[in-house]
């Protein structure tokens, strides 16, 4: 490389750095900008070298606007920034290798437009995602194009769900998998697979309107529509969708109004050959407080469970992440992480990304000792999702009661305290609503649960013995 090029690249980068330094905190500057080297300047494109793919992703996610402003000041409006990733290669005595980063092939999913027929006297359809006012409704799919089938690795634990998802993506609304319900524990890839189906459909059938939404946001939109007296518009809007993906459908439990409106939307879509995809943390038979007529519809199509990945799949997932990030790591370390993190894919990814970060930031070789430290932190820090049933059992056992007594109407002081503690921990450890907690702990209402939580908070600060109860039970639930 000619000498003048590198000096020009260097001087451009130094000017950028002085601008960046003025606009961010000192610690962030030291961590994310000092390790960068400018390597080349060609036709308004500055190439910078970063220590890892993780580093590049962090810059792109958090500082891309700042970088763009700095570079535009130096090189004008057509300025471009390209990354070269220098991988430290600690295996044997091979030299470090450099990889120029390919851009992500998948572009973001484009906004979809629909011409809506004018109905009645009201020409405008209220889209709960945007402020309405025009007949041509723009609908963001809400899909994340990074969640694709390419990076959803197949294993015994997810084969049925993945294959059925592919079939749905190839022929939305045209298979017997309608609705398609994906269920399983936390962090196993339900949301990833749901997005992947949507992204694939948009690639194969750009004209189809796809919409991803969490059941929580859907419920909020419905509540707003009732307040504003636009319930019919809300229903009409959802009837326009060709592929409706609802995440965490168990959130609808106990919400009669939302279930009713979803029932009408579902029926319309199903009758018109539109595809419905649902995810849930439990199978339809285990869903509580969901109307029978809705549950029976969930069973019309296919319910596919995603299980915890087996050891071989966990190794494949880790190797795929390392390959994708251009990082090499000894097999014994990959195997150690795979053996020790069994519960879900999200934790697995988090642990390996932490290892990559540790090695690239601190220039530490990845050893089994370092892997142990990272894995230990991960296993300790991840809160296990516990069920309300499990909490009731732990509390009952602690006070030597049976669960029936805990849930009974008795007003005996020790039973009342145990019941209040069960409600307090159900609010702390689960995502259930107060009404849902109350209905599961002896058919109480939400006000009783709220009162229980306040009582526990007050007693913890005034009664030493009671504080010990809380600490003991907390330990048992955190194991």
**Boundaries of every domain in the chain:** 7-83, 139-303, 309-379, 386-476
The distance from CA 199 to its chain's CA centroid, rounded to whole angstroms, is 16
pLDDT of residue 90: 41
How, if at all, do strands 112-115 and 97-100 pair? Answer: unpaired
**Superfamily name with CATH number, domain 7-83:** DnaA, N-terminal domain (3.30.300.180)
User: CA angle 326-328-332, nearest 5°?
Assistant: 145
pLDDT of residue 136: 55
Q: Which residues contact 314 (CB under 8 A, 6 or more apart)?
A: 338, 341, 342, 348
pLDDT of residue 240: 86
Which spans in 299-412 are helix H?
311-324, 331-340, 345-362, 368-381, 388-398, 403-407
Could you list the residues known to form a binding site for ATP, using ranges. Answer: 187, 189-191
Q: Which is nearest to 365 in space by CA: 312, 329, 313? A: 329
How, if at all, do strands 37-42 and 45-50 pair? Answer: antiparallel
pTM above threshold 0.85: no
User: What does the block give as tokens for 345?
Assistant: 């894919």
112 forms beta bridges with 139
Low-confidence residues in the chain, pLDDT < 50: 1-6, 88-97, 102-107, 118-124, 131-135, 381-383
pLDDT of residue 363: 65
Q: What does CATH list as the number for 386-476?
A: 1.10.1750.10
Could you list the residues known to form a binding site, using ranges. Answer: 187, 189-191
Say if domain 139-303 classifies as CATH 3.40.50.300.
Answer: yes
Query: What is the DSSP-derived secondary structure letter of residue 457?
Result: H
Q: Which is nearest to 338 in space by CA: 360, 366, 316? A: 316
Q: Which is nearest to 114 in space by CA: 140, 141, 137? A: 137
The DSSP H or E segment spanning 215 is helix 215-227
Is residue 130 within 8 Å of residue 239, measured between CB atoms?
no
CATH architecture assignment, domain 309-379:
Orthogonal Bundle (1.10)
What is the separation, in whole angstroms, between the first and last Cα of the chain?
58
């Amino acid at each position: 490389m000619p000498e003048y090029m590198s000096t020009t690249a260097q001087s451009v980068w130094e000017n950028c750095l002085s601008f960046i330094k003025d606009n961010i905190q000192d610690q962030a500057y030291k961590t994310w900008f000092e390790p960068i080297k400018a390597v080349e300047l060609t036709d308004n494109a500055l190439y910078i070298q970063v220590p890892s793919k993780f580093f590049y992703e962090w810059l792109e996610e958090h500082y891309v606007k700042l970088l763009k402003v700095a570079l535009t000041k130096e090189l004008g409006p057509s300025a471009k920034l390209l990354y070269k990733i220098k991988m430290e290669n600690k295996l044997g005595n091979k030299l470090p290798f450099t990889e120029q980063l390919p851009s992500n092939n998948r572009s973001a999913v484009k906004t979809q437009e629909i011409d809506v027929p004018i109905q009645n006297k009201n020409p405008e359809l209220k889209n709960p995602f945007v402020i309405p006012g025009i007949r041509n409704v723009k609908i963001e799919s809400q899909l994340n194009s990074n969640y694709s089938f390419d990076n959803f690795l197949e294993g015994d634990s997810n084969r049925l769900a993945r294959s059925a998802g592919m079939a749905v993506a190839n022929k939305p609304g045209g298979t017997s998998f309608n609705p398609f319900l994906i269920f399983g524990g936390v962090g196993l890839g339900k949301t990833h697979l749901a997005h992947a189906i949507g992204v694939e459909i948009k690639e194969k059938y750009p004209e189809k309107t796809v919409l991803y939404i969490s059941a929580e946001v859907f419920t909020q939109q419905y509540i707003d529509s009732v307040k504003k007296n636009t319930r019919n518009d809300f229903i009409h809007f959802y009837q326009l969708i060709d592929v409706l993906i609802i995440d965490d459908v168990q959130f609808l439990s106990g919400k009669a109004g939302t279930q009713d409106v979803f029932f009408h939307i579902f029926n319309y879509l199903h009758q018109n050959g539109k595809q419905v995809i649902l995810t849930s943390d439990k199978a339809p038979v285990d869903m509580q407080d969901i109307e029978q007529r809705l549950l029976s519809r969930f069973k019309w199509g296919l319910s596919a469970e995603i299980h915890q990945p087996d050891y071989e799949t966990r190794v494949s997932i880790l190797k795929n992440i390392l390959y994708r990030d251009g990082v090499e790591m000894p097999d014994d370390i990959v195997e150690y992480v795979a053996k020790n993190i069994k519960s879900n894919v999200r934790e697995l990814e988090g642990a390996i990304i932490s290892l990559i970060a540790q090695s690239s930031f601190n220039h530490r070789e990845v050893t089994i000792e370092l892997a142990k430290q990272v894995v230990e932190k991960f296993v300790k820090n991840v809160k296990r999702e516990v069920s309300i049933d499990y909490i009731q059992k732990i509390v009952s056992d602690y006070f030597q009661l049976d669960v029936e007594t805990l849930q009974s109407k008795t007003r005996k002081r020790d039973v009342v305290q145990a019941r209040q503690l069960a409600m307090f921990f159900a609010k702390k450890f689960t995502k259930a609503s107060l009404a849902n907690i109350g209905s599961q702990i002896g058919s109480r209402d939400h006000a009783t649960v709220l009162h229980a939580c306040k009582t526990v908070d007050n007693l913890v600060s005034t009664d030493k013995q009671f504080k010990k109860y809380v600490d003991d039970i907390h330990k048992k639930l955190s194991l």
